[in-house]
């Protein structure tokens, strides 16, 4: 069975993890990656870096599908900018789920969102566009993750949690049920969030 051809935008470490998920998912064939000028003509795993983002308009004439594979920790701006460029050019951004992940048929994934190895997305969850649901994340019933968020490895979002757009939840962190994080919040690794956070809060220590 033929597979749709896919361009990846971003050629760093996160792209390596995405490629592994895409290969195992089997729906798409990676054609190449978009990278920084110094990454041109290098390879990410076995796939070539074929252009910078300035070349996306030319590639759109031949390819319909793309995925943002730049990483996100300190700020979401790079992923947001690339996502908007891809949308403005008319690319389709599929959601991609690792075979080892579980996404309930009663959950909703936005465009360009990737759910990685061993993650669990339970019933009633809604995840926005251009999100990273990283390996072994657990997102419980009724949680809402807005656009352009990264829920990092092993994080737990309990029931009815709301994560504001552009936020980052660090590895192993736990968000108490019903808690709301504002836009562009950062929760550092291994923390427990038990109270609401306003926009742009950096929750870096339990002593905050």
Token duo for residue 15: 């792209």
Rg of the chain taking only CA atoms, in angstroms: 17
Question: In sequence order, which ranges of the chain are alpha helices (DSSP H)?
Answer: 13-25, 56-60, 77-88
14 is catalytic: no
- Report how many domains make up the chain: 2
Domain that holds residue 140: 95-203
CATH number, domain of 191, equals 2.160.10.10
pLDDT of the residue at 100: 98
CB 97 within 8 A of CB 103: yes
Task: List own/partner pairs for 138-143 with CB under 8 A and 24 or more apart.
Answer: 140/177
Q: Which one is catalytic: 141, 148, 150, 195?
A: 141
135 and 76 fall within a common domain: no
User: What is the pLDDT confidence band of residue 59, given thresholds at 50, 70 and 90?
Assistant: very high
Task: Say which DSSP state 101 is in.
Answer: S
CATH number, domain of 15, equals 3.40.50.720
78 and 170 fall within a common domain: no
Which domain-ending residue is among 59, 88, 117? 88
175 and 144 fall within a common domain: yes
pLDDT at 160 over 60: yes
Token duo for residue 192: 């427990």
Quick one: average pLDDT of 119-125? 98
């Amino acid at each position: 069975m033929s597979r749709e051809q896919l361009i990846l935008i971003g050629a760093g470490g996160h792209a390596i993890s995405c490629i592994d998920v895409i290969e195992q998912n089997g729906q798409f064939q990676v054609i190449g990656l978009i990278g920084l000028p110094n990454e041109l003509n290098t390879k990410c795993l076995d796939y070539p870096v074929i252009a910078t983002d300035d070349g996306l308009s030319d590639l759109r004439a031949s390819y319909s599908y793309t995925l943002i594979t730049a990483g996100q920790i300190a700020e979401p701006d790079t992923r947001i900018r690339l996502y908007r460029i891809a949308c403005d050019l008319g690319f389709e951004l599929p959601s991609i789920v690792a075979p080892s992940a579980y996404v309930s048929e009663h959950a909703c994934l936005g465009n360009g969102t990737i759910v990685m190895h061993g993650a669990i997305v339970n019933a009633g969850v809604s995840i926005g566009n251009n999100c990273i649901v990283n390996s072994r994340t657990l997102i419980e019933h009724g949680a809402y993750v807005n656009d352009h968020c990264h829920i990092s490895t092993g994080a737990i979002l309990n029931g009815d949690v709301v994560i504001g757009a552009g936020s980052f939840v660090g590895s192993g962190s736990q968000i108490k049920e019903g808690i709301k994080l504002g836009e562009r919040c950062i929760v550092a690794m291994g923390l427990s969030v038990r109270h609401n956070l306003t926009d742009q809060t950096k929750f870096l220590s339990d002593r905050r």
